[in-house]
Structure 1
Amino acid sequence: MSETHLPGGFVNTVVRVGDTVRRMPGQRAAYVHELLRHFERRGWAGAPRFLGLDEQGREILSFMDGHVAWADAQPDGVASDESLARAAELVRECHDLTAGTPLAGEEEVVCHNDLSPKNTVYRGERLRPVAFIDWDLAGPGRRIHDVAHVCWQYAGLGPAVEDPAGAARRVRLICDAYGLQERGEVVEAVLWWQDRCRRGIEADAAAGMPHAIRLRAGGVVAQVRACHEWVAEHRAEFERALR
Protein backbone atom coordinates (compact mmCIF):
# COMPACT_ATOMS: atom_id res chain seq x y z
CA MET A 1 0.00 0.00 0.00
CA SER A 2 1.13 3.56 -0.62
CA GLU A 3 2.63 5.60 2.21
CA THR A 4 1.73 9.20 3.03
CA HIS A 5 4.02 11.24 5.25
CA LEU A 6 2.20 12.82 8.19
CA PRO A 7 3.18 16.36 9.26
CA GLY A 8 4.32 17.50 12.66
CA GLY A 9 6.95 14.91 13.58
CA PHE A 10 10.06 16.51 15.13
CA VAL A 11 11.95 13.36 16.15
CA ASN A 12 10.56 10.49 14.10
CA THR A 13 9.36 10.07 10.52
CA VAL A 14 5.70 9.09 10.61
CA VAL A 15 3.74 7.74 7.65
CA ARG A 16 0.18 6.63 7.10
CA VAL A 17 -0.49 3.30 5.40
CA GLY A 18 -4.21 2.70 4.93
CA ASP A 19 -5.84 2.88 8.35
CA THR A 20 -2.52 2.51 10.17
CA VAL A 21 0.43 4.68 11.15
CA ARG A 22 4.01 3.42 10.83
CA ARG A 23 7.00 4.78 12.75
CA MET A 24 10.29 3.47 14.12
CA PRO A 25 10.05 2.37 17.77
CA GLY A 26 11.51 4.62 20.45
CA GLN A 27 14.01 3.62 23.10
CA ARG A 28 11.26 2.60 25.53
CA ALA A 29 9.03 0.94 22.98
CA ALA A 30 8.30 -2.19 25.02
CA TYR A 31 6.88 -0.11 27.87
CA VAL A 32 4.84 2.08 25.53
CA HIS A 33 3.43 -0.96 23.72
CA GLU A 34 2.30 -2.49 27.01
CA LEU A 35 0.73 0.82 28.01
CA LEU A 36 -1.23 0.99 24.75
CA ARG A 37 -2.32 -2.64 25.24
CA HIS A 38 -3.50 -1.70 28.74
CA PHE A 39 -5.63 1.13 27.35
CA GLU A 40 -7.06 -1.24 24.75
CA ARG A 41 -7.96 -3.85 27.38
CA ARG A 42 -9.71 -1.15 29.40
CA GLY A 43 -11.58 0.06 26.32
CA TRP A 44 -10.17 3.59 26.47
CA ALA A 45 -10.39 5.38 23.13
CA GLY A 46 -7.98 8.16 24.08
CA ALA A 47 -4.88 6.53 22.58
CA PRO A 48 -4.02 4.62 19.40
CA ARG A 49 -3.92 0.83 19.36
CA PHE A 50 -0.60 -0.99 19.02
CA LEU A 51 -0.96 -3.53 16.21
CA GLY A 52 2.55 -5.00 16.04
CA LEU A 53 5.61 -4.43 13.85
CA ASP A 54 5.85 -4.40 10.07
CA GLU A 55 8.49 -6.01 7.85
CA GLN A 56 10.71 -2.92 8.26
CA GLY A 57 10.59 -3.13 12.05
CA ARG A 58 8.30 -0.13 12.32
CA GLU A 59 5.51 0.13 14.83
CA ILE A 60 2.02 -0.34 13.43
CA LEU A 61 -0.48 1.87 15.21
CA SER A 62 -4.12 2.50 14.47
CA PHE A 63 -4.69 5.78 12.62
CA MET A 64 -6.60 8.28 14.76
CA ASP A 65 -8.77 10.20 12.34
CA GLY A 66 -9.27 13.87 13.11
CA HIS A 67 -7.50 17.22 13.32
CA VAL A 68 -4.03 17.27 14.89
CA ALA A 69 -3.06 20.79 15.94
CA TRP A 70 0.58 20.67 14.84
CA ALA A 71 0.68 24.05 13.07
CA ASP A 72 1.08 27.39 14.88
CA ALA A 73 -2.16 28.87 13.49
CA GLN A 74 -5.24 26.92 14.60
CA PRO A 75 -9.03 27.22 14.39
CA ASP A 76 -10.70 28.85 17.39
CA GLY A 77 -12.11 25.56 18.67
CA VAL A 78 -8.67 24.19 19.52
CA ALA A 79 -7.99 26.86 22.17
CA SER A 80 -11.56 27.24 23.44
CA ASP A 81 -12.37 26.83 27.12
CA GLU A 82 -14.37 23.73 26.26
CA SER A 83 -11.39 22.14 24.53
CA LEU A 84 -9.09 22.98 27.45
CA ALA A 85 -11.52 21.37 29.86
CA ARG A 86 -11.93 18.27 27.71
CA ALA A 87 -8.16 17.85 27.37
CA ALA A 88 -7.86 17.95 31.16
CA GLU A 89 -10.65 15.39 31.49
CA LEU A 90 -8.86 13.06 29.06
CA VAL A 91 -5.69 13.34 31.12
CA ARG A 92 -7.67 12.45 34.25
CA GLU A 93 -9.11 9.39 32.48
CA CYS A 94 -5.62 8.25 31.48
CA HIS A 95 -4.28 8.75 34.99
CA ASP A 96 -7.16 6.96 36.68
CA LEU A 97 -6.75 3.99 34.32
CA THR A 98 -3.08 3.60 35.26
CA ALA A 99 -3.15 4.43 38.98
CA GLY A 100 -2.15 1.45 41.07
CA THR A 101 -1.02 -0.65 38.09
CA PRO A 102 2.44 -2.19 37.55
CA LEU A 103 2.90 0.34 34.74
CA ALA A 104 2.88 3.15 37.32
CA GLY A 105 5.34 1.35 39.57
CA GLU A 106 5.75 3.22 42.85
CA GLU A 107 4.46 6.48 41.38
CA GLU A 108 0.90 7.79 41.35
CA VAL A 109 0.09 7.18 37.68
CA VAL A 110 1.55 6.87 34.20
CA CYS A 111 2.20 10.32 32.72
CA HIS A 112 2.23 11.08 29.00
CA ASN A 113 5.01 13.64 29.61
CA ASP A 114 4.59 15.43 26.25
CA LEU A 115 1.03 16.69 26.24
CA SER A 116 0.33 19.53 23.84
CA PRO A 117 -2.15 20.40 21.07
CA LYS A 118 0.45 19.02 18.63
CA ASN A 119 -0.04 15.59 20.21
CA THR A 120 -3.82 15.82 20.42
CA VAL A 121 -6.50 14.60 18.01
CA TYR A 122 -9.55 16.87 17.75
CA ARG A 123 -12.88 15.95 16.19
CA GLY A 124 -16.28 17.43 15.55
CA GLU A 125 -17.50 20.70 14.15
CA ARG A 126 -16.26 22.51 17.27
CA LEU A 127 -12.98 20.56 17.44
CA ARG A 128 -12.88 18.90 20.84
CA PRO A 129 -10.00 16.66 22.02
CA VAL A 130 -10.68 12.94 21.71
CA ALA A 131 -7.24 11.32 21.98
CA PHE A 132 -3.53 11.81 22.60
CA ILE A 133 -0.80 10.50 20.31
CA ASP A 134 3.02 10.14 20.56
CA TRP A 135 3.37 8.25 23.84
CA ASP A 136 7.15 7.72 23.49
CA LEU A 137 7.99 9.65 26.66
CA ALA A 138 5.28 8.07 28.83
CA GLY A 139 6.35 6.74 32.20
CA PRO A 140 5.55 6.60 35.91
CA GLY A 141 5.06 9.99 37.52
CA ARG A 142 2.89 12.32 39.54
CA ARG A 143 -0.47 13.58 38.38
CA ILE A 144 0.61 17.19 38.75
CA HIS A 145 3.39 16.72 36.18
CA ASP A 146 0.98 16.12 33.30
CA VAL A 147 -1.46 18.75 34.58
CA ALA A 148 1.31 21.35 34.67
CA HIS A 149 2.41 20.42 31.15
CA VAL A 150 -1.18 20.89 29.97
CA CYS A 151 -1.28 24.31 31.63
CA TRP A 152 1.92 25.37 29.88
CA GLN A 153 1.19 24.00 26.42
CA TYR A 154 -2.59 24.28 26.02
CA ALA A 155 -2.91 27.66 27.73
CA GLY A 156 0.18 28.84 25.81
CA LEU A 157 1.94 30.31 28.83
CA GLY A 158 4.60 32.70 27.58
CA PRO A 159 5.32 36.21 26.29
CA ALA A 160 2.79 35.87 23.46
CA VAL A 161 -0.02 35.98 26.04
CA GLU A 162 -1.53 39.47 26.03
CA ASP A 163 -3.77 38.91 29.05
CA PRO A 164 -2.01 37.25 32.02
CA ALA A 165 -5.19 37.36 34.07
CA GLY A 166 -7.03 35.49 31.32
CA ALA A 167 -4.23 32.92 31.19
CA ALA A 168 -4.46 32.46 34.96
CA ARG A 169 -8.19 31.84 34.61
CA ARG A 170 -7.51 29.18 31.97
CA VAL A 171 -4.96 27.48 34.20
CA ARG A 172 -7.59 27.31 36.93
CA LEU A 173 -10.11 25.97 34.42
CA ILE A 174 -7.70 23.14 33.52
CA CYS A 175 -7.15 22.25 37.17
CA ASP A 176 -10.90 22.38 37.85
CA ALA A 177 -11.72 20.14 34.89
CA TYR A 178 -9.06 17.63 35.94
CA GLY A 179 -10.28 17.72 39.53
CA LEU A 180 -6.85 18.54 40.95
CA GLN A 181 -7.14 19.06 44.67
CA GLU A 182 -3.63 20.09 45.72
CA ARG A 183 -2.64 23.08 43.56
CA GLY A 184 0.17 24.70 45.49
CA GLU A 185 2.82 23.11 43.26
CA VAL A 186 1.24 23.76 39.86
CA VAL A 187 3.20 26.89 38.95
CA GLU A 188 6.44 25.41 40.27
CA ALA A 189 5.80 22.31 38.14
CA VAL A 190 5.25 24.49 35.04
CA LEU A 191 8.58 26.20 35.68
CA TRP A 192 10.23 22.81 36.26
CA TRP A 193 8.97 21.56 32.89
CA GLN A 194 10.17 24.64 31.07
CA ASP A 195 13.61 24.44 32.62
CA ARG A 196 13.81 20.70 31.95
CA CYS A 197 12.75 21.16 28.32
CA ARG A 198 15.35 23.86 27.68
CA ARG A 199 18.15 21.91 29.32
CA GLY A 200 17.14 18.73 27.52
CA ILE A 201 17.30 20.34 24.08
CA GLU A 202 20.64 21.93 24.88
CA ALA A 203 22.10 18.65 26.15
CA ASP A 204 20.81 16.60 23.21
CA ALA A 205 22.05 19.20 20.73
CA ALA A 206 25.47 19.18 22.36
CA ALA A 207 25.44 15.38 22.02
CA GLY A 208 24.84 15.75 18.29
CA MET A 209 21.22 14.55 18.15
CA PRO A 210 19.76 15.88 14.86
CA HIS A 211 16.27 16.72 16.13
CA ALA A 212 17.68 18.76 19.03
CA ILE A 213 20.12 20.56 16.75
CA ARG A 214 17.18 21.54 14.51
CA LEU A 215 15.16 22.75 17.49
CA ARG A 216 18.07 24.79 18.84
CA ALA A 217 18.76 26.29 15.42
CA GLY A 218 15.09 27.16 15.11
CA GLY A 219 15.22 29.26 18.28
CA VAL A 220 13.25 26.87 20.49
CA VAL A 221 15.73 27.11 23.38
CA ALA A 222 15.36 30.88 23.47
CA GLN A 223 11.58 30.59 23.21
CA VAL A 224 11.36 28.19 26.14
CA ARG A 225 13.68 30.37 28.22
CA ALA A 226 11.41 33.36 27.51
CA CYS A 227 8.36 31.33 28.57
CA HIS A 228 10.08 30.40 31.83
CA GLU A 229 10.91 34.03 32.56
CA TRP A 230 7.34 35.09 31.75
CA VAL A 231 5.75 32.51 34.05
CA ALA A 232 8.18 33.44 36.84
CA GLU A 233 7.27 37.12 36.38
CA HIS A 234 3.54 36.40 36.68
CA ARG A 235 3.82 33.62 39.24
CA ALA A 236 1.93 35.43 41.99
CA GLU A 237 -1.04 36.08 39.70
CA PHE A 238 -1.29 32.42 38.76
CA GLU A 239 -0.99 31.27 42.34
CA ARG A 240 -3.76 33.66 43.42
CA ALA A 241 -6.03 32.24 40.71
CA LEU A 242 -5.38 28.70 41.90
CA ARG A 243 -6.17 29.39 45.55
Structure 2
Amino acid sequence: MEVPLLGGTANRGRVHRVGDTVRRPLRPTSGATHALLRHLEEVGFDGAPRVLGVDEAGREVLSYVPGQAVTAPAPAWGLTDEALRSVGRLLRRFHDAAAAFDPAPYHWSHPAPAPFDGGGIAHNDPNLDNVVFRDGRAVALIDFDLAGPGSPVWDVAAAARLWAPLRDPVDTADVRRGRELERTRILLDAYGLDDAGRAAFFRALRDSHSWMGEIVRDGAARGVPGFAEYWTPEAAARQERTVAWFADNADAIEKAVRSS
Protein backbone atom coordinates (compact mmCIF):
# COMPACT_ATOMS: atom_id res chain seq x y z
CA MET A 1 0.00 0.00 0.00
CA GLU A 2 1.31 3.47 -0.94
CA VAL A 3 1.00 6.20 1.70
CA PRO A 4 1.48 9.82 0.54
CA LEU A 5 4.15 11.69 2.48
CA LEU A 6 3.39 15.28 3.43
CA GLY A 7 5.69 18.26 3.01
CA GLY A 8 7.80 19.35 0.09
CA THR A 9 6.98 21.71 -2.75
CA ALA A 10 8.42 20.60 -6.08
CA ASN A 11 7.30 16.97 -5.61
CA ARG A 12 4.13 17.65 -3.65
CA GLY A 13 1.75 14.71 -3.94
CA ARG A 14 4.31 12.58 -5.79
CA VAL A 15 6.27 11.07 -2.88
CA HIS A 16 4.94 7.90 -1.26
CA ARG A 17 5.94 5.47 1.44
CA VAL A 18 5.77 1.77 0.59
CA GLY A 19 6.67 -0.30 3.63
CA ASP A 20 10.18 0.71 4.70
CA THR A 21 10.90 2.49 1.41
CA VAL A 22 10.14 5.86 -0.18
CA ARG A 23 9.25 6.18 -3.87
CA ARG A 24 10.06 9.50 -5.58
CA PRO A 25 10.17 10.73 -9.19
CA LEU A 26 13.50 10.41 -10.96
CA ARG A 27 15.09 13.66 -12.16
CA PRO A 28 17.85 14.53 -14.63
CA THR A 29 20.13 15.03 -11.60
CA SER A 30 19.17 11.82 -9.79
CA GLY A 31 22.51 10.24 -10.75
CA ALA A 32 24.37 12.99 -8.90
CA THR A 33 22.12 12.74 -5.86
CA HIS A 34 22.46 8.97 -5.74
CA ALA A 35 26.24 9.20 -5.97
CA LEU A 36 26.25 11.57 -3.00
CA LEU A 37 23.92 9.37 -0.95
CA ARG A 38 26.05 6.32 -1.68
CA HIS A 39 29.15 8.20 -0.57
CA LEU A 40 27.43 9.15 2.68
CA GLU A 41 26.56 5.50 3.25
CA GLU A 42 30.14 4.41 2.51
CA VAL A 43 31.60 6.80 5.08
CA GLY A 44 29.09 5.71 7.72
CA PHE A 45 26.91 8.82 7.86
CA ASP A 46 23.55 7.65 9.22
CA GLY A 47 21.71 10.94 8.72
CA ALA A 48 20.48 10.44 5.14
CA PRO A 49 18.36 7.93 3.19
CA ARG A 50 20.01 5.00 1.40
CA VAL A 51 19.63 4.46 -2.35
CA LEU A 52 17.89 1.13 -3.02
CA GLY A 53 17.26 1.31 -6.77
CA VAL A 54 14.43 2.07 -9.19
CA ASP A 55 10.95 0.48 -9.06
CA GLU A 56 8.77 -0.89 -11.86
CA ALA A 57 7.12 2.54 -12.23
CA GLY A 58 10.47 4.20 -12.90
CA ARG A 59 10.69 5.91 -9.52
CA GLU A 60 13.76 6.06 -7.32
CA VAL A 61 13.56 3.87 -4.26
CA LEU A 62 15.12 5.16 -1.06
CA SER A 63 15.09 3.81 2.47
CA TYR A 64 12.43 5.30 4.72
CA VAL A 65 13.93 7.28 7.61
CA PRO A 66 11.68 6.81 10.66
CA GLY A 67 10.81 9.85 12.72
CA GLN A 68 8.95 13.13 12.42
CA ALA A 69 9.55 16.25 10.38
CA VAL A 70 8.40 19.72 11.40
CA THR A 71 5.39 20.27 9.16
CA ALA A 72 2.74 22.96 9.54
CA PRO A 73 1.34 23.64 12.03
CA ALA A 74 4.75 23.32 13.65
CA PRO A 75 4.71 21.26 16.87
CA ALA A 76 6.15 22.92 19.97
CA TRP A 77 9.02 20.42 20.20
CA GLY A 78 10.26 21.46 16.76
CA LEU A 79 10.66 25.11 17.74
CA THR A 80 12.77 24.67 20.87
CA ASP A 81 16.33 25.88 21.18
CA GLU A 82 17.49 22.31 21.75
CA ALA A 83 15.87 21.20 18.50
CA LEU A 84 17.69 24.08 16.80
CA ARG A 85 21.03 23.04 18.30
CA SER A 86 20.51 19.52 17.04
CA VAL A 87 19.90 20.86 13.52
CA GLY A 88 23.23 22.68 13.70
CA ARG A 89 25.04 19.55 14.87
CA LEU A 90 23.40 17.40 12.18
CA LEU A 91 24.32 19.86 9.44
CA ARG A 92 27.93 19.85 10.63
CA ARG A 93 28.04 16.05 10.59
CA PHE A 94 26.65 16.06 7.05
CA HIS A 95 29.24 18.54 5.79
CA ASP A 96 32.06 16.61 7.44
CA ALA A 97 30.84 13.34 5.91
CA ALA A 98 30.47 14.87 2.44
CA ALA A 99 33.81 16.70 2.50
CA ALA A 100 35.68 13.95 0.60
CA PHE A 101 33.00 13.58 -2.08
CA ASP A 102 34.00 14.83 -5.54
CA PRO A 103 31.02 16.52 -7.24
CA ALA A 104 32.88 17.27 -10.49
CA PRO A 105 31.79 14.23 -12.55
CA TYR A 106 28.09 14.92 -12.01
CA HIS A 107 25.38 17.30 -13.20
CA TRP A 108 23.67 19.21 -10.38
CA SER A 109 20.37 21.06 -10.54
CA HIS A 110 21.19 24.36 -8.84
CA PRO A 111 24.82 24.78 -7.72
CA ALA A 112 25.38 27.62 -5.29
CA PRO A 113 26.55 30.87 -6.93
CA ALA A 114 30.07 32.25 -6.53
CA PRO A 115 31.75 32.72 -4.13
CA PHE A 116 29.82 29.96 -2.38
CA ASP A 117 30.04 27.36 -5.15
CA GLY A 118 32.98 25.38 -3.82
CA GLY A 119 34.53 23.97 -0.69
CA GLY A 120 32.10 21.14 -0.14
CA ILE A 121 28.57 19.89 -0.77
CA ALA A 122 25.46 21.76 0.35
CA HIS A 123 22.07 20.20 0.98
CA ASN A 124 20.66 23.55 -0.21
CA ASP A 125 17.20 23.07 1.29
CA PRO A 126 17.47 22.38 5.04
CA ASN A 127 13.84 23.40 5.51
CA LEU A 128 11.85 22.36 8.57
CA ASP A 129 10.10 19.56 6.67
CA ASN A 130 13.40 18.21 5.32
CA VAL A 131 14.84 17.34 8.72
CA VAL A 132 13.78 14.16 10.50
CA PHE A 133 13.58 14.20 14.30
CA ARG A 134 13.36 11.48 16.90
CA ASP A 135 12.69 12.34 20.53
CA GLY A 136 13.00 16.05 19.73
CA ARG A 137 16.47 15.71 18.18
CA ALA A 138 17.40 16.13 14.51
CA VAL A 139 18.76 12.82 13.22
CA ALA A 140 18.58 12.95 9.41
CA LEU A 141 18.28 15.15 6.34
CA ILE A 142 15.91 14.13 3.54
CA ASP A 143 15.02 15.48 0.07
CA PHE A 144 18.42 15.97 -1.54
CA ASP A 145 16.95 17.17 -4.86
CA LEU A 146 18.68 20.56 -4.62
CA ALA A 147 21.98 19.26 -3.22
CA GLY A 148 25.11 20.32 -5.05
CA PRO A 149 28.51 21.96 -4.79
CA GLY A 150 28.45 24.63 -2.10
CA SER A 151 30.39 25.91 0.86
CA PRO A 152 29.32 25.04 4.40
CA VAL A 153 28.38 28.64 5.26
CA TRP A 154 25.94 28.64 2.34
CA ASP A 155 23.99 25.78 3.98
CA VAL A 156 24.31 27.28 7.46
CA ALA A 157 22.91 30.60 6.23
CA ALA A 158 19.97 28.81 4.60
CA ALA A 159 19.31 26.91 7.83
CA ALA A 160 19.39 30.13 9.87
CA ARG A 161 17.02 31.81 7.43
CA LEU A 162 14.55 28.96 7.81
CA TRP A 163 14.97 27.85 11.42
CA ALA A 164 15.77 31.03 13.40
CA PRO A 165 13.97 32.29 11.28
CA LEU A 166 15.85 35.28 9.86
CA ARG A 167 13.10 37.38 8.32
CA ASP A 168 10.81 40.27 9.19
CA PRO A 169 9.22 39.26 12.52
CA VAL A 170 5.81 40.24 11.15
CA ASP A 171 5.98 37.02 9.13
CA THR A 172 6.63 34.77 12.15
CA ALA A 173 3.55 33.75 14.13
CA ASP A 174 5.06 31.41 16.73
CA VAL A 175 7.33 31.47 19.79
CA ARG A 176 10.42 32.23 17.66
CA ARG A 177 9.19 35.75 16.88
CA GLY A 178 11.52 38.39 18.30
CA ARG A 179 14.35 35.88 18.90
CA GLU A 180 15.72 35.83 15.36
CA LEU A 181 19.26 36.95 16.20
CA GLU A 182 19.52 34.96 19.42
CA ARG A 183 18.45 31.76 17.66
CA THR A 184 20.84 32.42 14.78
CA ARG A 185 23.71 32.56 17.26
CA ILE A 186 22.51 29.32 18.87
CA LEU A 187 22.54 27.58 15.48
CA LEU A 188 25.98 28.84 14.46
CA ASP A 189 27.50 27.92 17.82
CA ALA A 190 26.01 24.43 17.71
CA TYR A 191 27.35 23.97 14.17
CA GLY A 192 30.77 25.30 15.17
CA LEU A 193 31.02 27.79 12.31
CA ASP A 194 34.54 29.19 12.11
CA ASP A 195 35.55 32.85 11.91
CA ALA A 196 35.85 32.84 8.11
CA GLY A 197 32.35 31.41 7.84
CA ARG A 198 30.95 33.97 10.25
CA ALA A 199 32.58 36.77 8.26
CA ALA A 200 30.88 35.50 5.09
CA PHE A 201 27.57 34.71 6.75
CA PHE A 202 25.60 37.86 5.94
CA ARG A 203 26.37 37.74 2.23
CA ALA A 204 25.55 34.02 2.15
CA LEU A 205 22.27 34.75 3.93
CA ARG A 206 21.27 37.50 1.52
CA ASP A 207 22.32 35.57 -1.59
CA SER A 208 20.70 32.33 -0.40
CA HIS A 209 17.38 34.08 0.08
CA SER A 210 17.45 35.56 -3.43
CA TRP A 211 18.70 32.27 -4.96
CA MET A 212 15.88 30.21 -3.46
CA GLY A 213 13.30 32.84 -4.33
CA GLU A 214 14.38 32.68 -7.96
CA ILE A 215 14.12 28.88 -8.00
CA VAL A 216 10.56 29.05 -6.69
CA ARG A 217 9.62 31.91 -9.01
CA ASP A 218 11.00 30.06 -12.01
CA GLY A 219 9.23 26.85 -11.02
CA ALA A 220 5.93 28.69 -10.69
CA ALA A 221 6.41 30.30 -14.11
CA ARG A 222 7.04 26.86 -15.63
CA GLY A 223 3.86 25.52 -14.06
CA VAL A 224 5.38 23.21 -11.46
CA PRO A 225 2.25 22.61 -9.30
CA GLY A 226 3.82 22.95 -5.84
CA PHE A 227 5.76 26.08 -6.78
CA ALA A 228 2.77 27.62 -8.57
CA GLU A 229 0.61 26.99 -5.51
CA TYR A 230 3.21 28.53 -3.18
CA TRP A 231 4.21 31.59 -5.22
CA THR A 232 1.23 33.81 -4.45
CA PRO A 233 1.29 37.63 -4.33
CA GLU A 234 1.62 37.32 -0.55
CA ALA A 235 4.64 35.03 -0.91
CA ALA A 236 6.26 37.55 -3.24
CA ALA A 237 5.53 40.31 -0.71
CA ARG A 238 7.14 38.23 2.08
CA GLN A 239 10.18 37.82 -0.12
CA GLU A 240 10.52 41.58 -0.49
CA ARG A 241 9.91 42.20 3.22
CA THR A 242 12.74 39.81 4.04
CA VAL A 243 15.12 41.61 1.67
CA ALA A 244 14.25 44.94 3.30
CA TRP A 245 14.63 43.46 6.79
CA PHE A 246 18.10 42.13 5.94
CA ALA A 247 19.17 45.59 4.77
CA ASP A 248 17.76 47.32 7.85
CA ASN A 249 19.37 44.82 10.25
CA ALA A 250 22.67 44.06 8.52
CA ASP A 251 24.82 45.45 11.33
CA ALA A 252 22.83 43.66 14.03
CA ILE A 253 23.00 40.34 12.16
CA GLU A 254 26.75 40.60 11.61
CA LYS A 255 27.28 41.50 15.27
CA ALA A 256 25.13 38.58 16.45
CA VAL A 257 27.06 35.98 14.48
CA ARG A 258 30.52 37.18 15.47
CA SER A 259 32.61 34.84 17.61
CA SER A 260 32.74 35.89 21.27
**TM-score normalized by structure 2?**
0.85
Q: In the alignment, is the contact (CA less than 8 A) between 1:201 and 1:221 conserved in 2?
A: no
Distance in 2, matches of 1:165 and 1:140, equals 33
Q: Relative to 1, partners in 2 of residues 1:218 and 1:54: Cα closer, same or farther, differing over 3 Å?
A: farther
Q: CA deviation at 1:133?
A: 0.5
Q: Please state if 1:241 is matched with 2:242.
A: no
Over the aligned positions, Cα root-mean-square deviation in angstroms equals 2.0
Q: In the alignment, is the contact (CA less than 8 A) between 1:23 and 1:58 conserved in 2?
A: yes
Distance in 1, matches of 2:62 and 2:250, equals 40
Q: Could you tell me the percent identity over the aligned residues?
A: 36
Distance in 2, matches of 1:210 and 1:130, equals 30
Q: Please state if 1:4 is matched with 2:3.
A: yes
Q: How does 1:26-65 map to 2 (within 5 A)?
A: 26-65=27-66
- Which structure 1 residue ranges, 5 or more long, are not aligned? none
Distance in 1, matches of 2:240 and 2:212, equals 9
Q: Please state if 1:23 is matched with 2:19.
A: no
Q: CA deviation at 1:241?
A: 1.3
Q: In the alignment, is the contact (CA less than 8 A) between 2:166 and 2:180 conserved in 1?
A: yes
| Aligned equivalent of 2:215, options 192, 200, 205 | 200
Q: Which runs of 4+ in 1 moved over 6 A?
A: 162-165
Distance in 2, matches of 1:231 and 1:109, equals 26
Q: How does 1:145-160 map to 2 (within 5 A)?
A: 145-159=154-168, 160=171
Distance in 2, matches of 1:152 and 1:50, equals 29
Distance in 2, matches of 1:10 and 1:242, equals 30
Q: CA deviation at 1:164?
A: 7.5
Aligned length: 239
Q: In the alignment, is the contact (CA less than 8 A) between 2:47 and 2:90 conserved in 1?
A: yes
Q: Relative to 1, partners in 2 of residues 1:228 and 1:164: Cα closer, same or farther, differing over 3 Å?
A: farther
- Which structure 2 residue ranges, 5 or more long, are not aligned? 106-116
Q: In the alignment, is the contact (CA less than 8 A) between 1:46 and 1:130 conserved in 2?
A: yes
Distance in 2, matches of 1:176 and 1:141, equals 20
Q: How does 1:188-227 map to 2 (within 5 A)?
A: 188-217=203-232, 219-227=234-242
Distance in 2, matches of 1:130 and 1:176, equals 18
Q: Relative to 1, partners in 2 of residues 1:150 and 1:99: Cα closer, same or farther, differing over 3 Å?
A: same
Q: CA deviation at 1:240?
A: 1.2
Distance in 1, matches of 2:186 and 2:74, equals 20
Q: How does 1:87-126 map to 2 (within 5 A)?
A: 87-103=87-103, 107-124=118-135
**TM-score normalized by structure 1?**
0.91
Q: Relative to 1, partners in 2 of residues 1:208 and 1:76: Cα closer, same or farther, differing over 3 Å?
A: closer
Distance in 1, matches of 2:239 and 2:138, equals 25
Q: Please state if 1:228 is matched with 2:229.
A: no
The aligned amino acid for 1:99 is A
Q: Please state if 1:132 is matched with 2:133.
A: no
Distance in 2, matches of 1:100 and 1:42, equals 9
Q: CA deviation at 1:161?
A: 4.7
Name the SS of the counterpart of 2:179 in structure 1.
helix
The aligned amino acid for 1:120 is V
Distance in 2, matches of 1:57 and 1:164, equals 43
The aligned amino acid for 1:149 is A
Aligned to 2:182: 169
1:99-153 CA distance string (max 9 Å, x none): 13313789211110001111011111xx111101000111111111000001100
Q: CA deviation at 1:219?
A: 3.3
Q: In the alignment, is the contact (CA less than 8 A) between 1:194 and 1:225 conserved in 2?
A: no
Distance in 1, matches of 2:41 and 2:219, equals 33
Distance in 1, matches of 2:249 and 2:177, equals 7
Query: Which 10-residue stretch deviates more, 88-97 or 163-172?
Result: 163-172
